[in-house]
Amino acid sequence: MDNKKNVSYLDSVHRDGRIWGFSLLAILFLFPLVVSLVFSVVPDWAALAKGALAVAPMYWAVGVIEVITYVPMLGAGGAYLSFVTGNISNLKLPCALDAMEKADVKPNSEEGEIISTISIAVSSIVTTVIVILGVILIIPLTPVLESPVLKPAFAQMLPALFGGLGVVFISKNVKLSIAPIILMLALFITIPALNSGTVGIMVPVGVVFTLIVARIMYKKGII
């Protein structure tokens, strides 16, 4: 492996990722400013503070944990794209995981970095384009997407996604899977507060727990 080139490609991804990231951040915060200017209003500061306090502490805590958890799995290019376009655990990460699995590359290699970036870039472009089409066709689409026939299909998207993804990764790591699966089943079945809204918080818990179990099993020579 050509180590020198490897470093320079990754370094350039980090450099460009930072430039794009901070530029988008600036544009995103310009949006409410411009809305204020155009309609000559200022935000209601008291309500803004109240709303921000109700939302920010939890989502910032989750944000910190998500960055630490997902960056190693997504790779550099994939991470810079995913944290802009969102829908990481329900779309971008499964997409990149499947692509790396099919291409038989590891996320911590340069090949993995490239395949993950391509997969997430394509997924982001397709998502954005489909949402644009959806916005253009919103009037004819609304009755279709809200129809009682199709609603259950979208409601069950996550189980349908993780059934397919799960069988691949669990069958390849049966011994390592047992402890985290038992823990998560026990937690989710017994604690009513754990549901679709809180599954995101449990991902880092699952990751850290599985890493600890893996380390112990590895040291004892079980895996």
- Among positions 3-62, residues that touch another protein (CB under 8 A) are 5, 9-10, 12-14, 16-18, 20-25, 27-29, 31-32, 34-36, 38-44, 46-48, 50-52, 54-56, 59-60, 62
> Residue count at the site for another protein (CB under 8 A)?
157
159 forms part of the interface with another protein (CB under 8 A): yes
**Pair 67, 103: CB distance under 8 Å:** no
- Angle at 160 (CA atoms; ends 159, 166), nearest 5 degrees: 75
Work out which of 3, 4, 140, 211 binds another protein, going by CB under 8 A.
Answer: 211
Work out which of 4, 140, 183, 220 binds another protein, going by CB under 8 A.
Answer: 183
**Pair 92, 82: CB distance under 8 Å:** yes
Work out which of 3, 4, 72, 220 binds another protein, going by CB under 8 A.
Answer: 72
What is the secondary structure of 140-173 as a DSSP string? HHHHHHT-TTTHHHHHTHHHHHHHHHHHHHHHHS
Query: What is the C-alpha to C-alpha distance for residues 185 and 202, in angstroms, rounded to an integer?
Result: 12
216 forms part of the interface with another protein (CB under 8 A): no
Contacts to another protein from residues 101-130, by CB under 8 A: 102-103, 106-108, 110-111, 114-115, 117-130
Work out which of 3, 4, 140, 196 binds another protein, going by CB under 8 A.
Answer: 196
Min separation Cβ 47 and another protein, Å: 4
Amino acid in the structure at residue 107: P
Min separation Cβ 140 and another protein, Å: 12
Tokens linked to 216:
């112990």
Query: What is the C-alpha to C-alpha distance for residues 22 and 1, in angstroms, rounded to an integer?
Result: 32
222 forms part of the interface with another protein (CB under 8 A): no
Query: What is the C-alpha to C-alpha distance for residues 86 and 3, in angstroms, rounded to an integer?
Result: 32
